[in-house]
Amino acid sequence: MNTATKLSGFALGLAAVFGAAYGVGQVVGPVTPAADVRHDADDPAHGTTHADARDAPAAHLPGGLLVSDRGYTLAPLAAPAGEFAFRITGPDGQPVTRYEVAHDKRMHLIVARRDLSGFRHVHPEAGPDGTWRVASPLAGPGVWRAFADFTPAGGPALTLGVDVTVPGALDARPLPPPATATTVDGYTVTLAGAAQPGRASRLTLTVSRDGTPVTDLQPYLGAYGHLVALRQGDLAYLHVHPEGVPGDGATPAGPAVTFSAEFPSAGSYRLYLDFRHGDTVRTAEFTVVAGIPAGAGPGASGAPTKTGTPTTTGTATTTGTPAATSTPTADADHGAPGHGHD
Ligand SMILES: [Cu+2]
């Protein structure tokens, strides 16, 4: 997919974005100063071993909630119009220039507006000074959360998050209701499995096209699909792991791709499945509710619609959380602007 083409419509005025972001960020997304969040027990700089059995660093917190963690800080830079640039600074205050490869890349940049629309997952290029640059994935006005998912050489796997504001008239959208099927670009993706908070939840996503199961998915980022899950309310970024590796002799190239996801709490989440077919990466999106059994709970008939006129905030709220339904429902066009990949 041609990113430059997709970006051309909104590549104006982004030079002012970061200047504005800092002011708005104080209002919309206050971030805990790094000094208030200590991780001495598993700080690699101290040479100690993390005793927690789980492999996720900072396992006590979901990813993406902190702009600075264990000495590493995500620092957006003023960038030319249409470009998104940032650095990661390390415990010594200097830009980090050496990274481990994870899921085929040294840096994964994920963005979503705070209303959970407009998801994009891109891979910036690093300069020798440690500055990462990419054609801006911020598709239109609003407050965006940008997540940098990376592992510094010799350091912990981290997902840092920062708010960035794109000025302009806001077109906030309510979170679509839970669904077990969605369509994208003529593909239908169904979701099976329950999201259960507090433990690994197995989720299986199945891809078909024109009613025919797709059995020739192409590897993308070391798997037949890449799943990102964000929690409504704070955009906590979940750890999700695919089951199986392409070419291991046991993992079919579709139509089903299975993941293990850790939902840290009850609540609503937006799932974004990147899958590659016909040399194009597409994203299928779902809303899931963790902690409410299918067919139960209030609000099943009062689900938010996409026709409501947005008002004043960048974050849609659905306090009467709709219950998951057992009937597949279509959810095709949420986040249509800027929806896609490079
Ligand atoms: Cu990536």
pLDDT value, residue 32: 40
Q: Which has the minimum average pLDDT: 160-164, 185-189, 239-243?
A: 239-243
Read off the pLDDT band of 292 (50, 70, 90). Answer: low
Residue 308 Cα to ligand 1 middle (Å)? 33
Calpha distance 32→147 (Å, rounded): 16
- Both tokens of residue 328? 């597949």
Residue 228 Cα to ligand 1 middle (Å)? 10
Calpha distance 236→229 (Å, rounded): 8
Residue 119 Cα to ligand 1 middle (Å)? 12
Instruction: Identify the DSSP state of 105.
Output: B
pLDDT value, residue 291: 87
Calpha distance 65→42 (Å, rounded): 18
- 341 has a pLDDT exceeding 60: no
- The average confidence (pLDDT) of the chain is 77
Buried b (16+ CB within 10 A) or exposed e, 201-239: bebebbbbeeeeebeebeebbebbbbbbbbbbbbbbbbb
Calpha distance 182→196 (Å, rounded): 21
Contact 204, 258 (CB under 8 A): yes
Residue 224 Cα to ligand 1 middle (Å)? 13
Contact 7, 136 (CB under 8 A): yes
What Å distances lie between residue 159 and 139, 196, 216, 317, CA to CA?
21, 22, 31, 24
Q: Domains for the chain: give ranges and CATH numbers.
A: 3-49+56-166 (2.60.40.10), 175-293 (2.60.40.10)
SS3 readout for 296-317? CCCCCCCCCCCCCCCCCCCCCC
Q: What are the helix (H) ranges across the chain?
A: 3-7, 17-28
Calpha distance 167→172 (Å, rounded): 13
pLDDT value, residue 50: 40
Q: Looking at per-residue confidence, does 50 or 95 come out higher?
A: 95
Calpha distance 226→223 (Å, rounded): 7
Model confidence over 109-139: pLDDT tens digits? 999 999 999 999 999 999 999 999 999 999 9
Residue 274 Cα to ligand 1 middle (Å)? 10
Residue 305 Cα to ligand 1 middle (Å)? 31
φ, ψ at 128 (rounded to 5°): -65, -20
- Both tokens of residue 61? 């917190």
pLDDT value, residue 318: 37
Burial of 312 (0-12, 13-18, 19+ CB in 10 A): exposed
pLDDT value, residue 249: 87
Contact 114, 28 (CB under 8 A): yes
Calpha distance 84→189 (Å, rounded): 31
Mean pLDDT of 201-224: 94
For the ranges 267-281, 305-319, 322-336, the maximum mean pLDDT occurs at 267-281
- 46 has a pLDDT exceeding 80: no
Residue 147 Cα to ligand 1 middle (Å)? 10
Residue 107 Cα to ligand 1 middle (Å)? 7
Coil, helix or strand for 318? coil
Residue 307 Cα to ligand 1 middle (Å)? 32
pLDDT value, residue 250: 86
